[in-house]
Amino acid sequence: VQLVESGGGLVQPGGSLRLSCVASGFTFSDHYMDWVRQAPGKGLEWVGRIRNTANSYTTEYAASVKGRFTISRDDSKDSLYLQMNSLKTEDTAVYYCARAAGSSWDTHYFDYWGQGTLVTVSS
């Protein structure tokens, strides 16, 4: 199992950025996928989730990003995306994609993580 994020970089406040996460080594379409971020020197913050095709690709978001960030996926490309709009300085963080082990509540933990990609929001 491997998850590889890309797309991070420096962006000005109010700008947009799209992160990608390419998965390999497992059946991507079976799994819920999540984004988690970590501001410099801070703890982990869950950003949001996209469910699998069996659950209609529905999404959940943290209040801090709802309405600004959109999670999507392309199962044909084994890829997960995070579209980030109206970026704020407080969105500066390392962004990780993570795989949920399963789709039932007792398997929602994250058993695999990517290496992370740094997003810096600054003028």
* Binding segment (CB under 8 A) for another protein, from list 8-16, 20-28, 78-86, 108-116: 108-116
Among residues 63, 67, 76, 123, the one that binds another protein under rule CB under 8 A: 63
- Least CB distance to another protein at residue 54 (A): 18
Cα atoms in the 13 Å half-sphere on the side-chain side of 24: 4
Cα atoms in the 13 Å half-sphere on the side-chain side of 95: 29
Distances (CA, A) of 68 to 62, 87, 106: 11, 8, 29
Among residues 12, 14, 74, 109, the one that binds another protein under rule CB under 8 A: 109
Rounded to 5 degrees, what are φ and ψ at 107? Answer: -125, 25
**x/- track of binding to another protein for residues 11-50 (CB under 8 A):** -----------------------x-x------xxxx--x-
Residue placing its CB nearer to another protein in the complex, 24 or 107: 107
State the CB neighbour count (10 A cutoff) for residue 88: 13
- Least CB distance to another protein at residue 38 (A): 8
> Which of 9, 16, 2, 20 has the alpha carbon at shortest distance from 77?
20
Q: Rule CB under 8 A: which residues touch another protein?
A: 34, 36, 43-46, 49, 60-63, 96, 101, 105-111, 113-116
